[in-house]
Amino acid sequence: MNVCKDFLVIGSGVAGLTFALKVSEFGSVGILTKDVLEESATKYAQGGIASVMADDDSCDLHARDTMEAGRGLCREEVVRIICKEGPARVRELIGLGAKFDRVHGKDYHLSREGGHSKSRILHATDLTGWEIERTLIDAVREKPNIEIFPHHMVIDLITRAKVDPSVTPGSGEDESLGLYALDTKTKKVKTFLSKVTFLASGGAGKVYLYTSNPDTATGDGVAIAYRAGVKIANMEFFQFHPTCLFHPQAKSFLISETVRGEGGLLRRKNGQTFMEKYHPLGCLAPRDIVARAIDFEMKQSGEECVYLDMTHIEGYRSRERFPNIYKTCLRFGFDMSKEPIPVVPAAHYMCGGVVVDINGQTNIRGLLASGEVCCSGLHGANRLASNSLLEGLSLSHRGVAKAASLLGRSGSLENFKNKIPKWDSGNAVDSDESVVVSHNWDEIRRLMWNYVGVVRSDKRLQRAERRIKLLLDEIQEYYWNFKITKDTLELRNIAITAQLIIQGARLRKESRGLHFNLDHPEKDDVNWKRDTELQDTTARLITMNMKKTPSQ
């Protein structure tokens, strides 16, 4: 079955929905999401969206804070453009119906988070992401030329290089023609063709054992882009959120940074505060510093967690400002207005990814990207709190003009669409060994947590690299022998994404931002004040053959 659209959008968070909504003015749009439309990392964003909305703030200050957090690796032009255009993008959201909290029904209530010099975080209590997601979904559903394909998981991109032997994958001549996707309900593989493909598939927190991310965050976008020859960079910079609820049934429920912004303090079990030892901003230091401080304190004391204390603040500020967090903690037996809550760091945000320019364009024509999947230069070596939703809005908006201009390009899709092979499973059979998938999945996540976590070393990274190569060989064999499922696709994607994180960490011989190596504890601006681009490595050579089409 072939589906033809002018634009294909992979992902249904703030980046994908913003692009789909705006680009629908220029042609037909298909949105593919591997779960229901509402399920995305955006939905779970608690804190808010950073934007200059107060008279005592400025875009220059926002840009300065962003670049300070990014530890010298931000692209200044990108930072300044996104910070400057942010207020207009937020007002567009408000125009669509998004309701952010106000003070006495007038001015917006602006919170402050770690690394920000001003209060500039707009929020809808502690469910900001869902308010934005709801607003965009309502708007998208009103567009008759947008078709939604829930429960469709992308297998691989289709580029010109796959049907034209004269074109090298990822070269200047390569361009996007569409993709193969598995309908996880019918188990059928469909071919989607398009003039422009927009990658907004989110992050990869499930690569780690403990994460604040939803189950959909398995690094799919980075992996499928990498297999197609797209440039990937800065994968070693994986942000660990300092404060996730420590409880065996909580699945690392996120405790928003705005809790500390409202006065919450981090304490050891004995009640002592500790962040003042690590940074002048104390509990409002940038996330990388707070996460490492907690990690060090836990290892030094042998305790399983630290504690976030709001008990010195009026109880209503816990209950009314953070209703969802308050209710969730109460469900697990913690009343945050009366007792400190146990917290630990967990994998939260991927600051590297698919390399794009300020308009979201990758090195493959007709393939654009936005949101957590991309490496735009906004975050550098560490993302400033609440800049993620802002990036998704701004970069997707800028991508619309670029995408619209590509509709008129000389038609490779028309020239090659009859040469695009249908999906063929070959001799693959149904698997009766699903335990292999679950075992490998668990092993990858554990080795990443133990060897490539908050603090790293050369020896740990070497061990991780050796093991991930063996796992990739096992996964390749399994992939060839058995029919694909959502589980096998996710498994190979987290394996490839894990290897890219490891390779980036192995290459960078310094400590900067989110990457801290005990064997290279100092920042090295002479040799490493640059991006870590990953190209032509073992992972690509292995996975380029992981396709079941007649051409194979």
- The residues annotated with a catalytic role in the active site are 287
**Token pair listed for 368:** 């654009």
Q: Are 51 and 30 in contact (CB under 8 A)?
A: no
Q: How far apart, in whole angstroms, are the C-alpha atoms of residue 352 and residue 381?
A: 8
Q: Are 312 and 263 in contact (CB under 8 A)?
A: yes
**Token pair listed for 435:** 């335990």
Q: How far apart, in whole angstroms, are the C-alpha atoms of residue 505 and residue 443?
A: 19
Q: How far apart, in whole angstroms, are the C-alpha atoms of residue 503 and residue 535?
A: 10
> Which residues in 268-413 belong to E strands, given as ranges?
306-309, 341-350, 353-355, 367-369, 374-375
Q: Are 451 and 518 in contact (CB under 8 A)?
A: no
User: Which residues face 429 on adjacent strands?
Assistant: 482
Q: Tell me which residue has tokens 């619309």.
A: 400
- For residue 428, give the DSSP letter: -
Q: How far apart, in whole angstroms, are the C-alpha atoms of residue 257 and residue 82?
A: 22
Give the torsion through C-alpha atoms of 133, 138, 140, 144, to 10 deg.
Answer: 160
SS3 154: strand
- Give me the phi and psi of 154, to 5 degrees please: -70, 135
Q: In what order do the strands lie in the sheet with 374-375?
A: 374-375, 353-355, 232-233, 533-534
Q: How far apart, in whole angstroms, are the C-alpha atoms of residue 95 and residue 279?
A: 39
